[in-house]
Amino acid sequence: MTLYSDQIGAFIQGVTDPEELRHYIKQKFTEAEIQYAYEAMLAETRALAKAEKIPLLKAFWKVLDRAYAAKAPPLTCRKGCSHCCYTGVAHTQFEWDGMVNGARAKGIDLNEIIENSGKTVQRVAKVLESGVDPETVDWYQTVINQRCPFLDEDESCMIHEDRPLDCRLMLAFRDVCASKNLEHAQRGVMVEEAVAPTVIARLQYESTPKIKRRKFTGSPKLRIIQRWLLTWKDKKTGKKKR
């Protein structure tokens, strides 16, 4: 896939190859800039979590929002412009736990979310039950053009404050996207985007009980929302993990 860019960042043009994005980021930011941003974001997140007595992940989202407000052009994204909500969204267990807690605080019933998203959730369930190695599946293609389970009837996000990083990095600064091609969505706008996944991995490690840290590889597993929903349901019903 061809990667387009301007002085702001790289255009998404649909689902962009992660390798292309990584190459673009390495060209745009130096190793020193990336390392400094990583350390600064970690320090600011820890300090904010302590000062406001909030979970580390919530503090990190605030830090990331501040960075966008300070460094990026004004957003053209608007409530209801949901074209970016019709593809797969991959995230870590750490982010998923934050989403579940956010949903619970709002009184959102995940069983209803699963029921209302039957088509897209069942697509994922069938793949998992087929016996194929999940690591070889293109999960984005599996749910392409399927609405996010947390997309409300008015095309707004039910858990916007607790949405994962994959959603937070899908932003537009030039104009409102007119289709699922995401014509104006961009990444690589600021260095904080480049280090955000690594910061989340570190925060997940710090939030993991010490007795379980020996199992932590440093690269948290990413799963799409539909699979996390199935994992949540299996845990609640005592079913073998898929």
Instruction: Summarize pLDDT for 4-59 with one digit per residue, the tens.
Output: 888 888 887 665 667 788 888 888 999 999 999 999 999 999 999 999 999 999 99
81: exposed, middle or buried (Cβ count in 10 Å: 0-12, 13-18, 19+): middle
Identity of the residue numbered 136? T
pLDDT (tens digit, 9 = 90+) per residue, 135-158?
A: 999 998 899 899 999 999 999 999
Quick one: pLDDT at residue 223? 95
Closest CA to 57 of 205, 222, 204: 204
pLDDT, tens digit, 9 for 90 and up, residues 50-107: 999 999 999 999 999 999 999 999 999 988 899 999 988 999 999 999 999 999 999 9
The Cα 121–Cα 123 span in angstroms is 5
Q: Is 12 among the domain residues?
A: yes
Domain count, the chain: 1
Asked if residue 222 has pLDDT above 70, the reply is: yes
Res 122 pLDDT > 80:
yes
pLDDT of res. 2 = 67
Greatest pairwise CA separation for the chain in angstroms:
51
Position 215 scores a pLDDT of 63
Q: Is 71 a member of any domain?
A: yes
**pTM score of the predicted model:** 0.91
Q: What is the pLDDT of residue 232?
A: 96
Q: Give the pLDDT score at 220.
A: 79
**Count of positions (residues) in the chain:** 242
Q: What is the pLDDT of residue 16?
A: 61
What's the chain's average pLDDT? Answer: 91
Q: Evaluate whether 85 touches 157 at the Cβ level (below 8 Å).
A: yes
Q: Is residue 106 part of a domain?
A: yes
* Count of Cβ atoms closer than 10 Å to residue 78 Cβ: 10
Residue 43 lies in a domain: yes
Is the separation of the CB atoms in 234 and 241 below 8 Å? yes
Looking at this protein, which amino acid is placed at residue 53? K
Domain that holds residue 207: 4-237
pLDDT digits (tens, 9 = 90+) for 158-215: 999 999 999 999 999 999 999 988 889 998 899 999 999 999 999 999 998 887 776 6
DSSP result, 173-218: SSS---STT-TTEEE-SSHHHHHHHHHHHHHHHHHS-GGGGGG--S
Residue 191 lies in a domain: yes
Residue 166 covered by a domain: yes
Tokens of 202: 């570190």
242 lies in a domain? no
Give pLDDT, residue 118.
87
The region that residue 182 occupies, defined by phi over 0 for left and psi between -120 and 50 for alpha, beta otherwise, is left
**Residue 93 in domain:** yes
